[in-house]
């Protein structure tokens, strides 16, 4: 079913998608097929077209140019008439005027808006001043910076240890790097684990060769400092005394939804943007999908996040359908807990993608 069809007298419908990730791109594809005449614009603060971030750990195993990670070629966007405005940041949404404001002070008008800005890695406040000494791992550029900073068989200190970090950790171990994990309540995020399961899987990590430091017992990390001459480049200092050195220190404390620019738009926000199972916000013209949104759960009587590639992709498809007049509802496609693979190593449904 296609709801919006431009006739000569009706101007084409303007769909604007903020975010160039899994959800945004899935939605763009759906919008294009459901409304061939519509104007589809993706806005992103990334320089690159959509690429598979799940593959970033592989950069450490073999050289991969970013082109090899790209999900779609440039031709794809041209062929499907999907405009991608890159390397620009959305600073606000004026729901009254139906305009997205860009950091360079240009408004982009929409008829229907999809917010699919995902999340960015969370950094505890006490580490804010040490940001420049930490290496993030959200983009290709950041991954390459880590690769450059990490010597052969070097040491990575992982703070937190969410599932994004642990995915990288298993790759680093496989290339004989040393991985020191400083645990935190976000270890194994987004999995919510009982203390027993947590213990079990920390031991699994130890068995895999990881050094595990109990972050709570150490009183938490108070500072990151540049390493002194003759020692690795970074020193992680614990509140209770003691320290650990690494060539690279990486925070993996889970994600926080990127919603700041939506403040003032009139859209309901808790931690993420609140939507119903049809992914519509309280504004009829605004939808949200992916890591940025909290979806109403009838069972739990609460808004909750659903992570994982398949969930996020399904959200993109549902949003596209409903933005073009459909009436579909998001149903969870991917759930699961921590498990072990055939080698006894840690595994998770979170790491599955197709």
Task: Name the site residues for another protein (rule: CB under 8 A).
Answer: 41, 47-49, 66, 74-75, 77-78, 83-88, 102-109, 140-141, 144-145
Nearer to ligand FAD by C-beta: 4 or 53? 53
The owner of tokens 């999809």 is 114
Q: Which is nearer to ligand FAD, 93 or 244 (CB)?
A: 93
Contacts with ligand FAD: how many residues (CB under 6 A)? Answer: 34
C-alpha closest to that of 188 among 226, 150, 160: 160
CA distances, 150 to each of 53, 135, 146, 178, 252 (Å): 20, 11, 6, 11, 17
Give residue for tokens 């990590």.
Answer: 205
Q: Does 118 bind ligand FAD (CB under 6 A)?
A: yes
CA distance 257 to 322: 22
> Where would I find the H helices in 247-336?
309-323
- Neighbour tally for 347: CB within 10 Å: 17
Name the nearest CA neighbour of 158 among 140, 179, 177, 141: 179
- The nearest distance, CB 135 to another protein, in angstroms, is 13
What are the structure tokens assigned to 198, written together?
């947590």
Question: Site mask, ligand FAD, residues 125-154, x = CB under 6 A?
Answer: ------------xx----------------
For residues 93 and 108, give the distance between their C-alpha atoms in angstroms, rounded to a whole number: 9
Site string for ligand FAD, 182-221 (x = CB under 6 A): ----------------------------------------
Is 101 within 8 Å of 9 (Cβ atoms)?
Answer: no
**Residue 10: CB minimum distance to another protein, A:** 20
Instruction: Tell which residue, 162, 174, 161, 167, has the closest CA to residue 209.
Output: 174
Contact between 246 and ligand FAD by CB under 6 A: the answer reads no
Which partner from the list another protein, ligand FAD, none does 144 bind, CB cut-off 5 to 8 Å by kind?
another protein
To ligand FAD, the closest distance from the beta carbon of 76 in angstroms equals: 16
One of 13, 15, 17, 20 touching ligand FAD (CB under 6 A): 20
Instruction: Establish whether the linkage from the previous residue to 190 is cis, with ω within 30° of 0.
Output: yes
Closer residue to another protein, CB minimum distance, 79 or 239: 79
Task: Please pick, from the candidates 16, 31, 90, 346, the single residue that binds ligand FAD as defined by CB under 6 A.
Answer: 90
| By the rule CB under 6 A, 164 interacts with ligand FAD | yes
Tokens 């505890």 correspond to what residue? 124
Among 54, 76, 122, 296, binds ligand FAD (CB under 6 A): 54
Name the maximum alpha-carbon separation found in the chain. Answer: 73
Structure tokens at 252: 């993996």
Among all chains, which residue has been given the structure tokens 């109990």?
214
51 binds, among ligand FAD, another protein, none (CB under 5 to 8 A by kind): none
Under a CB-based contact definition with an 8 Å cutoff, are residues 93 and 273 in contact? no
42 or 346: whose CB is closer to another protein? 42
Choose the contact partner of 308 out of another protein, ligand FAD, none; CB within 5 to 8 A by kind: ligand FAD
Binders of ligand FAD among residues 253 to 312 (CB under 6 A) are 258, 261, 290-292, 307-309, 312
Q: What is the distance of C-alpha 302 from the center of its chain?
A: 22
83 binds, among ligand FAD, another protein, none (CB under 5 to 8 A by kind): another protein
Contacts with ligand FAD, residue ranges (CB under 6 A): 18-24, 43-46, 53-54, 56, 89-90, 116-118, 137-138, 164, 167, 258, 261, 290-292, 307-309, 312, 350-351
């Amino acid at each position: 079913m296609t709801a919006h069809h431009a006739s000569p007298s009706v101007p084409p419908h303007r769909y604007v998608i903020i975010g160039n990730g899994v959800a945004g791109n899935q939605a763009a594809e759906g919008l294009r097929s459901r409304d061939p005449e519509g104007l589809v614009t993706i806005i992103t603060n990334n320089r690159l077209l959509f690429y598979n971030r799940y593959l970033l750990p592989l950069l450490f195993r073999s050289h991969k140019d970013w082109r090899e990670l790209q999900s779609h070629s440039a031709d794809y966007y041209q062929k499907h008439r999907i405009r991608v405005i890159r390397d620009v940041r959305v600073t606000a949404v004026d729901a009254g005027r139906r305009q997205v404001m860009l950091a360079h002070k240009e408004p982009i008008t929409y008829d229907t808006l999809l917010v699919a800005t995902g999340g960015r890695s969370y950094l505890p406040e006490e580490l804010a001043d040490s940001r420049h000494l930490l290496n993030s791992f959200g983009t290709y550029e950041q991954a390459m910076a880590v690769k450059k900073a990490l010597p052969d068989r070097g040491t990575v200190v992982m703070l937190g240890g969410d599932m994004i970090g642990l995915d990288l950790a298993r790759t680093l171990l496989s290339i004989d790097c040393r991985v020191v994990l400083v645990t935190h309540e976000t270890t194994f995020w987004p999995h919510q684990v009982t203390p027993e399961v947590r213990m079990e899987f920390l031991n699994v990590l130890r068995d895999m060769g990881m050094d595990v430091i109990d972050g709570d017992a150490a009183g938490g990390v108070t500072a990151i400092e540049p390493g002194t001459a003759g020692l690795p480049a970074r020193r992680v200092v614990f509140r209770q005394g003691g320290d650990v050195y690494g060539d690279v220190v990486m925070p993996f404390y889970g994600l926080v939804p990127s919603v700041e620019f939506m403040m003032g738009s009139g859209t309901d926000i808790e931690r993420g943007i609140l939507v119903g199972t049809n992914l519509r916000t309280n504004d009829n013209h605004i939808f949200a999908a992916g890591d940025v949104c909290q979806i109403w759960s009838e069972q739990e009587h609460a808004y909750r996040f659903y992570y994982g590639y398949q969930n996020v992709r399904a959200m993109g498809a549902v949003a596209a359908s409903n933005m073009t007049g459909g009436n579909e509802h998001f149903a969870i496609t991917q759930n699961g807990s921590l498990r072990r693979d055939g080698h006894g190593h840690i595994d998770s449904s979170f790491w599955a993608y197709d």
